[in-house]
Structure 1
């Protein structure tokens, strides 16, 4: 890898890690013709294309990289990405090629007598200790394992060995990292598909406990970075990235918790995701839905009606606890409603429709939540017209 490629890939990787995929692609694209045989460049270029939803072009770039580096000596990511794009049995084969190299690199870390490959040498320039390199490799291993599980649960779900493959893979993941909350969440997803409700709930409780620990640890680290005299900018960046990466896993946990009727976990996970990004409609939908379902469940239990609580309509309840959850649902859904008044091009139309449907069920948006804050009327002008048009 030439010096120019080192600099180019380094800058592009930093942009990708800071969610600036468009800028990374703008930086890399002009070099596509003169670096078509540069494996490391192709791997990063393929990632940038994927992040910009240019899947077909990314496929061509990544498959070229895999052909030039069939043993993944210069990085495994291209095999993991390509496997996810292709799916099916062929996708599994590409992912396995990456996993084989990752396991070899872990073995190399454990045994100093093994000569490290080029990718491991580069990792040694980034991470200062064996433990930190091993943690990085295990994280990559789990990403590959998760991708394989997804293929078995979708493309190959009708194969007779699909269930046993998923069980073996998630067991392997938890062996590598038993404290990984995403692995426990994925275990819950597998158990839900197997209709093992009690096991799914147990896994979700464990996942939420580990997510809480991880989130709190990262928040504490971020707080310390603000203290006078702190100067570890590289470490701060890693903490911020890891914190941002909790967003989607928390939303997935909330969705699975709703499916498993663990509504209070779903509410907490949704609320926790809003600490990371308060402008994501999905989080308010899950929170509102979980609050509403919990209210219905409590209402039916209090009235001993024997109805299926999920099938009833409920806008108020004489049960105080149920009424409290109803009010929380209305607040969450009103926040979602406010987001729906923003840029429609960035909204998931299906989620927006579900938010409005649930909001109508609980009595419509709360005016107190829609009123602009004192001194900030210009930030949300026309809110009255928005409400009227929605009602129409």
Structure 2
């Protein structure tokens, strides 16, 4: 990313003028940078922030925003350089807000470094929730979500990079208990709890947690504000599939399809779920399935395969049109589609109803 060299920029002739310009210009520059960051215009935001740092090199907000802009723009080294300048010896004391620690944790060079930053950030957030310290413009709901995100990230480190450490399992237990004490019903925390129990071979407990979370989502409208964000629901769909809960997974993924019909992963997961459902129906007669309603005629395996191919073909089309970057999804899509086509499966066709055009009577008023 190209940057303008500001070293040769003209400075005010007198110190008094510099002070006056700083007082009026830096807040304006920061406001403009914040707007540009919200628009994902990182390159232009960086230029405004570089100007702000020329005027006030020690301004912590400008320094942090510059680090964030560089990170979001793809220059990790430059972003870390800005963020580290918020710490001694470049600054008189460590930052008193959690966000610099969280950003540095995400770009850490090793798991231990990441754990250190995440741990510090989490402790700071917990103190803010107890009324200790200055939360600034961060409200309590956002603080709790920041804490959950940090704790879940630490658990993921213990379950991946440090999974062979003797203390891994006990540390995960302690961390998830900490997360649930902060936000007992947080979907991300509950999904992490289920993953921990799976890794500990406590499968019954894991499934109980998954079903508890599903019950909180069951029957909700796709745009219900009480539903978790779409990325969380996609992750939860995968978790439901791990437990063989196909109908529950379809229920959840349907809310995602209705919310964003162009989302590649939603379409892919719908097709994959129908495929798994069909496979299961081939292995067991429908009358033996406990999740069938007595007054509902169950779909057979062939019908489920047809629904699967419909969704998978749609996902493949979206994948190509959007140049979707996940090659794993792309290859699995092709594998599933080719397998169904070799079986002679035809994609399901859904009738489209248009009440306005029924009988050719269209109100043009």
State which structure, 1 or 2, has the greater radius of gyration over its C-alpha atoms: 2
- Residue by residue over 1:168-206, the C-alpha shift from the partner in whole angstroms, topping out at 9 and shown as x without a partner, is 111111111112111111112222222322222222222
Counterpart residue number, 2:81:
60
Q: Give the CA deviation at 1:282.
A: 1.8
2:100 is the alignment partner of 1:100: no
Moved over 6 A (4+): none
More helix by proportion, 1 or 2? Answer: 1
| Aligned residues of 2:286 and 2:300 also touching (Cα < 8 A) | no
TM-score, scaled to structure 2: 0.74
**Which residue is equivalent to 1:279?**
262
Asked if residue 40 in structure 1 is aligned to residue 29 in structure 2, the reply is no
Q: Please give the secondary structure, in 2, of the residue aligned with 1:341.
A: helix
Q: Is the 8 A contact 1:191 1:200 kept in 2?
A: yes
- Counterpart Cα distance in 1 of 2:269 and 2:129: 39
Aligned with residue 49 of structure 1, among 51, 70, 75: 70
Shift of 1:165: 0.9
TM-score w.r.t. length of structure 1: 0.70
**Partners of 1:175 and 1:347 in 2: how far apart?**
37
Match of 1:337 among 316, 327, 330: 316
SS in 2 for 1:155: coil
For 1:69 and 1:183, locate their aligned partners in 2 and report how far apart those are by CA, in whole Å.
Answer: 36
Give how far 1:6 is off. Answer: 4.1
Q: Distance in 2 between matches of 1:58 and 1:45?
A: 7
Q: Does 1:78 align with 2:100?
A: yes
Counterparts of 2:334 and 2:121, CA distance in 1: 44
Return 267-276 or 183-192, whichever deviates more. Answer: 267-276
- Corresponding position of 2:273: 290
Paired with 1:83 and 1:327, the residues of 2 have a C-alpha distance of 45
What is the aligned partner in structure 1 of residue 8 from structure 2? none
Is 1:27 the counterpart of 2:45? The answer is yes
Distance 1:175 1:285 in 2: 35
Task: Number of aligned residue pairs: give it.
Answer: 312
Are 1:366 and 2:347 counterparts? yes
Q: For the Cα contact (< 8 Å) 2:234–2:266, is it kept in 1?
A: yes
Deviations for 1:59-105, whole angstroms, at most 9, x for unmatched residues?
Answer: 222222344375432x2111012112214112111112212221222
Deviations 1:145-186 (A, max 9, x none): 112112212221111111111111111111111121111111
Q: 2:326 aligns with which of 345, 348, 356?
A: 348
RMSD value over aligned CA atoms?
3.2
More displaced 10-residue stretch of structure 1: 79-88 or 174-183: 79-88
Instruction: Tell me the equivalent position of 1:151.
Output: 157
C-alpha distance after superposition, 1:261-318 (max 9, x if no partner): 22223223332223343222222222211211111111111299xxxxxxxxxxxxxx
Structure 2: gaps of 5 or more residues: 1-21, 288-297, 351-365
Contact preservation (8 Å) 1:273, 1:283: yes
